[in-house]
Structures are given as structure tokens and as C-alpha cells.
Amino acid sequence: MDFISNLEKVLSEGSFALTAEIGPPKGSDPNKIIKKAEILKGYADAFNITDNQTAVVRMSSIAGCSILLNMGMEPIMQLTCRDRNRIALQSEVLGASALGIRNILFLTGDHQSLGNHPDSKGVFDIDSLQLIQIVKKMRNDGVFQNGEVIPYGKPNIFIGAAANPFADPLGLRVERLSKKIAAGADFIQTQSVYNFDRFIEWIDEVRSNGLDKKVHILAGVTPLKSSKMAYRMKFHVPGVDIPDKAYERIINAKDPKKEGYLLALETLQKLKKIKGIHGVHITALFWEDIIPSLVKESKIHKIPSL
């Protein structure tokens, strides 16, 4: 069987997949990505390159993905609806495919008021669900959103989407996931897991609806590096659900950084045992060098021969 990407191959063959995030810099220096990539090479099956995350101007995702390709690493390009209309979004998909980028995670995007240009105008011509539908038709049927045939090569893309198991109500979260699967999502990366009880509720509903058989689900893990980070994530980052018990564990620790590492390690080990989870996605914000240790100690992924 021919697979679109290595990530699709790993997931389709039933292996427990691991993806990791590499945040582009606020600047044009490629070495900022190269240094992070050199640390992480071999420790994940594919690597997310974010798209102006938290609505802050950074090097473009497509440029970051190109750098990874040149290093022999498989990227997952993130693409948000916040900054582009449907013309630009379809153009980006064609361009990414032309460069050899095979995985794209489609997101609506954080609101611009949260970023470093709060007075900028958000586009939001379409949302992530609509974009997934458009890209599926581009890939499968070879047509643009307007029905026009793509004459010179349809994009070959493994389609990704995000899910937040922690927003209320729970039923709506599962319904939203179902809609994204119906629209064409091949894999899902979830919001970071801290509230395990709620996550179990969500995945139970996902399984009861048979959705885990229709899409590959990768659960998010974000190590908390400090008490300050724990505070910001708990109280100021939309969509994140850190229970008081986990929060107090970090802020009351003698060494919050070590405690954050241990919490992430425990989370990874728990997630691998959950039926319906096909992998994990590690987002180590400004702490990418911790990922190799987490991978080795958790034993959730093959260790590269170095």
C-alpha cells in the first residue's frame, strides 16, 4: 500500500505514533529551527511547525517545513484560517504539496487580539471544518472550492485537525470531532492533557461512537517548565484545563521544573495504555531539549541509533 506520508504509515500499521512541535522564531534566522531540529531528529515520527502561534508574528510555517525537509525530517505544517481567505489557503496547500510537505494540520487559529498585533484584522473567511472539506475535495476529487478542476496536479496531503476534549459541553466536543472526521480529517491532535478524568470521559464517548476506528487520535502533552508557566497555562491560555491538584503539585514543588517533567512523564505513560489513543503529540514550549529524555524514559517510542 502506498502511504501519503511516514506519519500515515506509522499510524496505519498500528504503531504508537509520536509527533513533536518545533516553534519557528520571531525572525528569519533558519538556525533557530535547525538547532531545535538537530536535538529532536529521530525522536518523533513527524514534527509540527506552527503557524504564527498565539497570533504572534513568526517565521512562516511553510518555510520552517522546508528547512526540516532539507534535514531529512518529516514536517507537519500547521495552517490557520485567521490570516488568509480561501484563495490564499488553497494556494498554500498547493505550494506545500509541491515542496513535498505531506502532512498539514488545519486550524481556525487563535484570535488576533491575543497576539502582538491586536489591532490587526482577522480574516476567518472559513473555519477549520470548512477548510478540511475543501482540502479533501482538492486531494480526492481534484477540484477547488468553487468546483473548478485543478489542471496541474492535485495536492497529496494527509489531513490533520485539532480537538479539545476539555471544553463544555462534552457532547458537543464529540460531535465536533465527528464532523471533522466526516469532513475528511485523517488524524487528530488534541489539546494538552492535564485533566485525566475529563479526558477519559471524552475518549469513552469517542469510543462508544466508534470514532476511534475512523480517525487516528494523538493526545497532546505539554511539560510545565515552571510555576510561572503553570499559572499562565491554567489561567490565561484558552482551552487548557489544569486541575487544582496538578497545578498545586507544580507551584508547591521545591523544584517545579523537575516536577513538571515528572508530571509529563506520568502522562505519557498513562496515555499509551488508553484504548483508542494512537499516539501522542508533545508540545514542549521553549523546552524542546527535554523531549529526548521524555521519550527515552517513558519508552513510548523507538530510540534512534546515535
Instruction: Collect the ranges in the chain with pLDDT lower than 70.
Output: 303-306
Query: Residue 276 is placed in which grid cell?
Result: 483508542
- Cα–Cα distance between 37 and 154 in angstroms, integer? 29
- Contact criterion met (CB below 8 Å) for 34 and 63: no
Classify residue 136 as exposed, middle or buried by CB count within 10 Å of its CB (0-12, 13-18, 19+).
middle
- Angle, alpha carbons 178-182-11 (nearest 5°): 85
Neighbours of 100 (CB within 10 A): 13
- Contact criterion met (CB below 8 Å) for 149 and 142: yes
Query: Residue 289 is placed in which grid cell?
Result: 531539549
Neighbours of 8 (CB within 10 A): 22
Instruction: Give the pLDDT confidence score for residue 112 in this predicted structure.
Output: 85
Which H or E run includes 217? Answer: strand 216-221
- Cα–Cα distance between 241 and 272 in angstroms, integer? 20
Instruction: Give the pLDDT confidence score for residue 114 in this predicted structure.
Output: 83
Quick one: angle between helices 31-40 and 291-298, nearest 10? 10
* This prediction's pTM: 0.96
Return the biggest CA–CA distance within the chain: 62
Instruction: Give the pLDDT confidence score for residue 306 in this predicted structure.
Output: 41
Query: Residue 24 is placed in which grid cell?
Result: 519557528
* 75-80 and 158-163 strand pairing: unpaired
Condensed to tens digits (0 to 9), the pLDDT of residues 251-275 reads 999 999 999 999 999 999 999 999 9
Identify the bridge partners of residue 219 per DSSP, sorted by sequence position. 280
- Sign of dihedral through CA atoms 240, 76, 131, 189? negative
Residue whose C-alpha cell is 478524568: 197
Instruction: Give the pLDDT confidence score for residue 132 in this predicted structure.
Output: 98
Question: Which residue segments constitute the domains of the chain, with CATH numbers given?
Answer: 6-298 (3.20.20.220)
